[in-house]
Amino acid sequence: MLKTDQPVIDFVNEIKDYLPGNSIDCVVFGFDAQQLKVLLLEWKDEEAWCLPGGFIKISESMDDAAHRILHQRTSLNSIFLNQFFTFGSTARYGPKFKDHIKKTQKVLQNKGVSDKKTLGWIASRFITTGYFALVDLRKTHPQPDFFSETCQWIAIDKLPELIIDHNHIVTKALEHLRVQLNYLPIGISLLPSKFTMQDLQRLYEAILQKPLERSNFQRKMLKLGIFIRLEKQMTGAANKAPYLYSFDTEKYNQLLEKGIGFTY
Amino acid sequence: MLKTDQPVIDFVNEIKDYLPGNSIDCVVFGFDAQQLKVLLLEWKDEEAWCLPGGFIKISESMDDAAHRILHQRTSLNSIFLNQFFTFGSTARYGPKFKDHIKKTQKVLQNKGVSDKKTLGWIASRFITTGYFALVDLRKTHPQPDFFSETCQWIAIDKLPELIIDHNHIVTKALEHLRVQLNYLPIGISLLPSKFTMQDLQRLYEAILQKPLERSNFQRKMLKLGIFIRLEKQMTGAANKAPYLYSFDTEKYNQLLEKGIGFTY
DNA sequence: GCTTTATTTTGTTATTTTGACACAATAAAT
DNA sequence: ATTTATTGTGTCAAAATAACAAAATAAAGC
């Protein structure tokens, strides 16, 4: 891994280039067969898990910062990324926060960072803005950051305890995902380019966390007129093979603007 | 007006008590007979209009700051207030911003504030978080702030040019209002406690900016089971008088949690 | 090759919802 | 008593929904 891919190193060298008191945390959603997953960083030695995040350069917009951070973690360039909430409560700074700061400073010192300015900067109050991303996890190459040993996909219903209020941030992101479902490019962002109706249904079921009626789901989806039917996918199983579909991108985007009037 | 109601005075005296680089701007919606209105501040001498806003104390959460700011402008204590977006683009800092800073510094100097720290603080990059509020404008007592001469309700379709990106902030707030319509306590927050179905319909028409069919609107609304029918309102006109309604608060809130499945 | 098995795709049908318009009820003015 | 404007309720065809049924089909077993 190149040093230029480690933003905290840059940050340590040039604190003055970053806005103080503001950070960004990203909830990156991926979908794998049955499960909705989230990209997490694991701090092996310190036993901590957290969301990918970072800081904002003075010369850079918040959106640019979020894209930069996500590119560093996923290697993806054009990501569907939405800001969803800014977390500015003082409740963030309880004992869990203090515990986190100790670990952070420990890691920094272990890596040879000892100047007081940096250690103090990290320990001050931050207002963090949450972004959620929808990506095809098959196309990502997860990379740990300065503080972490691994970067991996974890199923949404098996999340470990995360630092500070990061569990809360994930919960909020998921709420936004559900509420805005009809306005977000769920399918096209989270699925591979070719998929079956069952894949699509499982995705919606994972997000809504409730089962949907198979035949009605299929008919209603197809009626939207945003799919292109491709060849059949021979599954090798002793039964009828499903058709593969891809999205008609133009029609999909047109429909999204008005909101897909889909009832689940 | 008391000096304690003028937050910028406090701010000037105690810059160190506020977070640098973060601000709050509020889009306060009210509804008056036919029109959706927004609360604006007018800087008479400098010919500027802006949204009510302010800064965040170090000891205070962002939500508390927004409530404090709105209490100062409206005299209301329990306000429906939702954070909707954080504006962190660098495009905010174009010529319009520089123009605004000049005016701000002029006002400060006219009012006897001349220390460089304050003048510089004001001119730095701010990330501003937008909140929108829904209030019964009949219950408000609009108060101008340190920079403004008047604080008044302006119809949403007759907004003047506002400072920096405040027009954009209003547009974004309105978008959120529309998209989240079925999850927000529109009626109970914006209407007086007793209202007619026509009042309610005009409110929805103002937000959605499209006409709705009278009889169907009425039937569908009443079917939600969240209204209490009161006495008739004698209008004095030569025609049938409408019933007055109030909300059944408990049922209304229950319904809002799932989202009112209303189609318009 | 014929039958079995599991799954997909298309059909059917009763019920509910929607949208558009009709009509009766009614408060005040003429 | 009649007129007028608006409200509240009625009607009805078309569309959408939900639940279930039946036909189609890819591979395995015999």
What is this structure's pTM? 0.91
Q: How high does pLDDT run on average in chain A?
A: 90
List B232's β-bridge partners, or say none. Answer: B243
Residue A85 to residue B83, Cβ atoms within 8 A: yes
Task: Identify the closest residue of chain B to A87 by CA–CA distance.
Answer: B62
Domain of B101, in residue numbers: 3-179
- The mean pLDDT value for A87-110 works out to 89
Residues B196 and B74 in one domain: no
Residues in chain B: 264
Residues A96 and A221 in one domain: no
- The mean pLDDT value for B175-196 works out to 93
B260 CA – C17 C1', rounded, Å: 15
Residues B171 and B236 in one domain: no
Does residue A231 surpass a pLDDT of 90? Answer: no
**Assigned domain for A184 exists:** no
For chain B, how many structural domains are there in total? Answer: 2
Residues B253 and B147 in one domain: no
Round to whole Å and give the CA distance between B223 and B236: 29
Q: How confident is the model at residue B4 (pLDDT cuts 50, 70, 90)?
A: very low
Give how far A21 is from chain B: nearest CA, Å: 8
Is the C-beta atom of B198 closer than 7 angstroms to strand D? yes
Q: Which of B155, B179, B203 is the last residue of a domain?
A: B179
Least confident of A221-225, B44-48, B74-78, B191-195: B44-48
Chain segment B12-70, per-residue pLDDT in tens:
567 788 999 999 999 999 999 789 999 999 998 888 999 999 999 999 999 999 999 99
CA neighbours within 13 Å on the CB side: how many for B98? Answer: 3
Judge whether A160 is closer than 8 Å to chain B, CB to CB: no
Does residue A120 surpass a pLDDT of 90? Answer: no
Residue A129 to residue B86, Cβ atoms within 8 A: yes
Residue B19 to residue A180, Cβ atoms within 8 A: no
Residues A143 and A67 in one domain: yes
A137 CA – D23 C1', rounded, Å: 37
Which residues in B lie closer than 8 A to residue A60 (C-beta atoms)? Answer: 90
Q: With CA atoms as reference, report the closest residue to B147 among B196, B107, B116.
A: B107
Which residues in A lie closer than 8 A to residue B129 (C-beta atoms)? Answer: 86, 88
Residues B70 and B116 in one domain: yes
Residue whose structure tokens are 């109050």? A125
Does residue A165 surpass a pLDDT of 60? Answer: yes
Question: What CATH number corresponds to the domain at position A30?
Answer: 3.90.79.10
Round to whole Å and give the CA distance between B170 and A161: 38
Residues A200 and A165 in one domain: no
**Assigned domain for A175 exists:** yes
**Assigned domain for A186 exists:** no
A194 CA – D23 C1', rounded, Å: 26
Residue B19 to residue A90, Cβ atoms within 8 A: no
Chain segment A253-263, per-residue pLDDT in tens:
999 988 888 88
Which residues in B lie closer than 8 A to residue A62 (C-beta atoms)? Answer: 86, 88-89, 127
Q: How confident is the model at residue A111 (pLDDT cuts 50, 70, 90)?
A: confident
Q: With CA atoms as reference, report the closest residue to B258 among B189, B183, B187.
A: B183
Residue B183 to residue A179, Cβ atoms within 8 A: yes
